[in-house]
Structure 1
């Protein structure tokens, strides 16, 4: 499928999705969100793909925010619809994807860009990365999960401060806060992402899917995460990956998942 705003590149079991709007600092517009949705759906259905890396083109930005001119004149109903559709198509969709997603933050990740990175299963960043949720400076709040995921990742107090001040933080601050796992020089960022992705790809994809669902359950209202873990733990025993993994362990060899 041909895309206007994203680039796809697969190497082995790893797919890299690059948001490619460098003249707009890779800002998210409606078309880009829809293209990303289609790309993630296709990748999740492709059993040859074990890990997805998402990043931005160029050296300046991962995603510098949403394309404000698309919604500057929206009314209340249109604003709510924009947020709801974004959650369904991309942000909640990525969080609950059965294929693990790594966000490689290569510069500015602001507003919807940081929300996109937070929807991924974990994040790494380049030393020049800057992150923030500046929405209140525009008279609006984060609408793609920022008010929910940021407190989960860095705590309520720090999240409140970042959201209310609209300040940006550096990559090192983000690492200290627990927002990103690793910080490296920009030229090393994709290499690290691929190294981590390869390690993930060697493990059981069915077990990783179950782990994603179980971890996410802890953050859902009216869901007992322990019960989800117990159920998914039991289901693993009925998979061919469990048989292969335990057999390989007993035979002192690497499993072939």
Structure 2
């Protein structure tokens, strides 16, 4: 199988990554082209111990490093998420994008960047701190179990966000939004009075453009194969770090995020 055939399915994704990394599609494409030319000429080789996708991203980074590329020197990026990215230190930005945007595991990101697991974890944590500090907002928690609601509230406050309200029913959630608009919604599905967190979120999204994370023991009620489906879905019982990471990503990639509700 030729090199191009092996890599072709992954090229749209490495282009997406390069655009996010540089803040500019033309500049990103130029680095992708240089990486492909280096592979074709044998100046860079694919590591056969890696999957083709991981190998392609690693080759891209080899060329990036050899060119002395400085992501911070990129032109002004368009859109709020892109501008936020440019403010994260370069190596942390790379680790964050590889895991949050491209879906690599920390281990795979380490193979791409040439650092160990602990190094990747530290880079991601640094990016997360930058994101949390910039995107502090007010959060509505829709959860009918008091102990779980208290756990989620603690995680939210630990990240520097305010808790707008904790609603146990669809009606309470809608009334809370009428009083004050949240910047983020964390929602369970099955609520205290038999009402649905899905319906509560639909009501809220009919009034506001706000990121939503579902935290539920019933993910099958959301993953129906029909659109729209939630971008952020966490299954109970959850790990605190999973919730923290999802909050950061939901706020980071939402265009209007990062402003505390008045």
TM-score (norm 2): 0.25
TM-score (norm 1): 0.25
| Larger relative strand fraction | 1
* Larger-gyration structure (1/2): 2
| Larger relative helix fraction | 2
